[in-house]
Structure 1
Amino acid sequence: MINIKKVVFIILSVFLLTGCMNNTKDLMKSFKDYNGKKNSYELTGEMVIVSNEDEFTYNIKVGVDNKTNYKVSLVNTINNHEQVILKNSEGVYVVTPNLNKSFKFMSEWPSNSSQAYLIESLINDVNNDAKATIKEINGGYEIDSSVNYPNNQKLERETIITDKKFDIKEINVKNSEGVSLLKVKVNSINYSPKFDSNYFKLDTLVKETDSSKNNKTTDKDTNKTTETTDNKTTEENKKTEEDCISTCSDDTCKDKCKKTETTGNVLDDIIYPLYVPTDTYLHSKDKVSTDDGERVILTFAGVDPFILVEEASKINDEMEIVPVNGEPVILGNTIGALGDNSVYWSASGVDFYLTSNTLNSSEMMTIAESITNGTSLVASTK
């Protein structure tokens, strides 16, 4: 009799376990089927980026047309600074409308990495993780999966919160300790959007400018220290230019290293990174004249040498398109362009160009974030 009870218990346990497994599979399939069919949509929400101890909040608006054309507007809630990631038949762009400036990429974005604000990217993350899980929570479901952020190894897993219909409500991307570093809260999704015929065209982002206002400004709340540098000899200037160019892999970077004789707008302050790699130090500072004003070249030497170029941002009368071999990346409070051995970005009225032959993309992004997010630094010079 005892043996019969044990057999019945085992059989019931197997049925219950199988039922739970089948139910989980059914839920996951329903989530994928429901959201996988969303080829076009318009999404609004809020995105929070956590960088060290700082949080940066963006209002986001995403437009997707047949998983072919993409337009992602991100507006920084602190300074109302807008940048747009645009993909159309001509390429991938990161546009700063207020400067009439755009980086253009020949890129596989957005399919080459995870994007927490794109539905199809979330589905890809779940499909690519054989151990992805789903469970029922109060009012909806919670899906957990791995992520693919090749340029930010800190981001390892994501949690997707949906309602009972599987409409996505919230996404949290976390590090290995379960701390959320990227959060997206969805306010609305329209699955039947009607986009204007020009909605995904670059020229719609061009801003009319007043050339008399084309002055460079800087934000005094960032890590800036006014510096003066001695006049350099011709030989010293040539050596600095050659050292800078030697680290470049594209023409845009090389142009930033070159010196001209015309002066205009002046970059008042030099901005130093809050983070530099171990056994790396500031070796030299050079101020040089350009067609548009003044440029600062900071050369860091040591174990992981790099060069940081700074100049006041220019408001262009027409859209300036800068070709870059790389990918768009979020650097705390701004969007930059990450290349093979360089990163370009604009923040607080200053354009930055960082290049290195030894640093990997993660290290370059860490340095860049320390510049855009920091407040002060006393750099040692040897």
Structure 2
Amino acid sequence: MKKKVAVIVGVLLLVVALFLVLKPSSFEKKADKTMQKLTSYKLEGNMEISSGEEFKNYAITSSWMKEGEDEYFKVSMIDKSLNQEQIILKNKEGVFVVTPSLNQVFKFQGEWPMNSPKPYLLQTMMEVLKNDHQTKKEKDGILISAEAKYPSAAQLVRQEIKFNKDTKPLYLIAYDANNAPALTMEFTAVSYNEGFEAGYFDTPKSSIETPTSSYTGLIELPLYPMTVFDSKLVASTVSSVNGQPQHILEFSGDRDFTVVQTERAPSQELTVTEVNGDLIEGLGLVGYYDGNRLTITNSQVEYSVYSNDLTPQEMMQVVESMQVSVMK
């Protein structure tokens, strides 16, 4: 009899222990309530990306609003070294990538931004709380540690997210396999449920005002990628299409690919191009993938990577690894 009682007590203790382990913390409950009541947010901050000895810095503004069943997103990324902006919009008309420096808009169809995690979106950070993670209470907030899952940045394996006690994010740091911080997103201003002025999420209909830029020259082409997946450069040529030079780099090895680089001048009038391909995001870069080609415009240079061997994410890594530009 005593043995049975001991077994029953042991089982009950195990059930209680499991309940305590699996029971959501008070912070998780509070975060869930925050998301349920949320109708809009605006996050502003700075994102630093390190790749080897190279650092890239971006000013980020992420905005979201919900009206009924409709969700609106707007993400502004400004390259601090060039003071050039790229904007991604989602509204009732579709998904748009806006490049003010070129007076250019690309229109997409798709599920952006919820098709993959983004370190600058509140939804991504809150989703981490629903999966395996560790929670640590600190004086000024809550520190969350979890696995990093960013399809466009496979080198990121672990992340830490810190929230204040009002469930507002303070920073996100993602680490590589060597436990070195490879991405830091520090939030400088966060607002919930304050709304936006009319037209904030509208698609541009006329010429776009560009930020004042100290970048006045063109990049000395071609640039060479550092990430080549054990392939070797076998040819470097220049061709001309409609009088525009195109620099062509051909790589061969276990995985073959070709990189084409073309300078792009700003258009005098706003141009809107509808794209059939998929929108692909990297760390600070946005492009589109169509069949076996990934196209990205950055710093007034259009990069096209052609390959039947590389995935879209690997093509993005090739462009992200281009050597530091040399200004004319």
User: What is the TM-score of this pair, normalised by structure 1?
Assistant: 0.71
User: What is the TM-score of this pair, normalised by structure 2?
Assistant: 0.82
Identity %, equivalent residues: 27
Give 1:359 deviation, angstroms. Answer: 1.3
Distance 1:159 1:168 in 2: 11
What letter matches 1:199 in structure 2?
Y
What letter matches 2:167 in structure 1?
F
1:297 is matched with 248
Q: In structure 2, the residue corresponding to 1:354 is in which secondary structure?
A: strand
1:349 is matched with 300
Distance 1:176 1:274 in 2: 19
Q: Are positions 1:28 and 2:31 aligned together?
A: no
In structure 2, relative to structure 1, the CA distance for the partners of 1:46 and 1:36 (3 Å cut) is farther
Q: In structure 2, the residue corresponding to 1:189 is in which secondary structure?
A: strand
The one of 105, 110, 115 equivalent to 1:112 is 115
In structure 2, relative to structure 1, the CA distance for the partners of 1:50 and 1:39 (3 Å cut) is farther
The one of 214, 222, 233 equivalent to 1:270 is 222
Q: Are positions 1:94 and 2:97 aligned together?
A: yes
Give 1:204 deviation, angstroms. Answer: 5.8
Count, aligned residues: 312
2:194 is matched with 193
Q: CA RMSD in A?
A: 3.2
Structure of larger gyration radius? 1
Q: In structure 2, the residue corresponding to 1:27 is in which secondary structure?
A: helix
More displaced 10-residue stretch of structure 1: 270-279 or 107-116? 270-279
In structure 2, relative to structure 1, the CA distance for the partners of 1:110 and 1:318 (3 Å cut) is same
Distance 2:314 2:161 in 1: 29
Cα deviation, 1:212-235, whole Å, max 9, x if unaligned, reads: xxxx9413xxxx4xxxxxxxxxxx
Distance 1:62 1:174 in 2: 22
Distance 1:36 1:115 in 2: 20
Give 1:341 deviation, angstroms. Answer: 2.9
Check conservation: 1:46, 1:57, Cα contact below 8 A: yes
Check conservation: 2:296, 2:303, Cα contact below 8 A: yes
Give 1:107 deviation, angstroms. Answer: 2.0
Distance 1:109 1:355 in 2: 23
What letter matches 1:38 in structure 2?
L
1:64 is matched with 64
Give 1:154 deviation, angstroms. Answer: 1.6
The one of 121, 126, 130 equivalent to 1:123 is 126
2:281 is matched with 329
Distance 1:19 1:151 in 2: 36
Distance 2:256 2:265 in 1: 28
Identify unmatched segments of 5+ residues in structure 1: 1-9, 210-215, 225-268, 377-382
Distance 1:208 1:369 in 2: 27
What letter matches 1:162 in structure 2?
F
1:229-308 mapped onto 2 (5 Å cutoff) = 269-290=221-242, 293-308=244-259
Cα deviation, 1:327-363, whole Å, max 9, x if unaligned, reads: 231355x433345532222233321111111112333
